[in-house]
Amino acid sequence: MYDGVFQVLRNSSSLELAVASFHLLMDLGKQYPRTYLTDSDGHQSLVVVKESWLPFLIGNGSLSSEMGGNARISGHLFDPSRFSLLIEAMVEPTNPTDDNNGIKAIKNMMLFQYLVNTLEADFVPRHIAYKKSLDWVIFRESLLNMLLVSRKLVFKSFVKDCMYLLLNQFHPEAKDAVEGSIPSEGEAKSASDMDSSLNYLLLESERTLVSLRKLFVMVMELDLIRKEADTLGLTSRADGFRNPIMEVILDELTYNISYLSPFLLAFMEWKWKLEIILQYFSEYCGKGAVRTRRSDNSQQDLKLGSVLSFFSTTTSAKAIVKKMGTEVAQHLLAHAYQVVASWSTALGSTHQSATDAASSRDAGERCREEDDSALSSKASFRRPPMTATFNLFSFFTYLQVCLSVQSDSSDSTATTEKIGASLQEISCNFISAFQNLRKVGPNIQISPFEKEAQFTAATLSRKLKNEER
């Protein structure tokens, strides 16, 4: 049955049938998971039903008993090469006025969403089990790991295509309600009645963006686990080798600076976003000790507090800007502060909701006037007019979106260590950093996003100072 429904999703020329089959496959996956955890006497055990059907063709275990081992019947399944080709097809521009072209694009997006959902359903239980056992074999046999280490998949090209797709699919004006949503049967019925597939194409683009973020995060988590297993000596040559996804992303953002800010806007998972920013800075702010396969130099990792110290004086700021450019430094600092503010707000450190921050315009104006000594250049920090496409409320609302990915206490501890200072210290040092950048380049252009970040830092800094009194 799985196989038949999947073939309908792949081959149907009807948008209604494609959406209905997608919805059915997602429901079946929830009802009959292939990988799950069981509780026995207070102990969780990982269960993998290897006979279950899979949309992937990875090794001998991927063919279900329904196929009877007939390779011809498996021609519609996704091996690593076909999965990579699907991403390439999605990167190509789509003409929404062409119904056939639009339906094909939507089908590709739903296929990608379903495949990522299958990888996630296998990944999450293994992640939980691994944290308790530290058994690398759990992830060595994961669908994601077997997919990525295959020689049929050129990993660097695959990651670059995913980055391009992330940039192409990102629409800032989209509603947050799209996050985690799945087409309902009612949507499937109404889809065929649309005069144009343009609206539905936009909706699926946003859902695809969510799946892309999930895929990025899973690969980053897998790389982190692989690194830990390497340190413990649990891996071997049989596990294969590929570059960590973080290295590929940083290389691409370094050589294509125009991608930097759009990528950081689209990639909203705060833990990994901060990691990308810190590793980017580490390329220009000095390198720690050389890491070997069995060494752990985590103490050498750069922290945000240390990064801001590189901009604490005009001289030091000038030295960094000479290496990486003023525009890049501004982008990275603004996005880094966004992560810190969202994370701190989530922990309740500011004791103020985003709505309260947005509605307290008068208080904000007073804070800004009282902090004129800190904000030496009013022109560069002036709050954009309310006619702009966003304001302080939208900035905080955007911060809240960063919290869409659930994290455990260990992630919070790791993030605290990566920040390396309190919210008040980060806010003050962030303002000081932009002051010094302004001195280094009096004519620098500051984007509306960066102005909002500075205004937010000034507001929070003043508020936290008042709470201490």
Angle (CA) 282-159-227 rounded to 5° is 55
pLDDT at 351: 39
Torsion of CA 95, 97, 99, 103, to 10 degrees: 40
pLDDT at 171: 55
H helical segments located in 141-244? 143-148, 155-169, 185-191, 198-231
Q: Collapsing DSSP states into helix, strand and coil, what is residue 78?
A: strand
**Cβ-based neighbour number of residue 252 at 10 Å:** 17
The DSSP string of 292-339 is -TT---GGGS--HHHHHHTTSSHHHHHHHHHHH-HHHHHHHHHHHHHH
pLDDT at 400: 42
- Give residue 126's Cα distance to chain centre: 20
| Distance (Å, whole) CA 422 – CA 305 | 9
pLDDT at 301: 77
Residue 40's H or E segment, with its range, is: strand 35-40
pLDDT at 79: 92
96, 205 Cβ separation under 8 angstroms:
no
| Distance (Å, whole) CA 133 – CA 126 | 10
pLDDT at 94: 61
Q: What is the largest CA-CA distance in the chain?
A: 76
For the chain, residues with pLDDT lower than 50 are 60-72, 173-181, 185, 189, 191-196, 288-291, 293-299, 349-406
What pTM, to 2 d.p., does this model score?
0.80
Q: Which of 161, 382, 173 is nearest to 265 (CA)?
A: 173
- Give residue 418's Cα distance to chain centre: 17
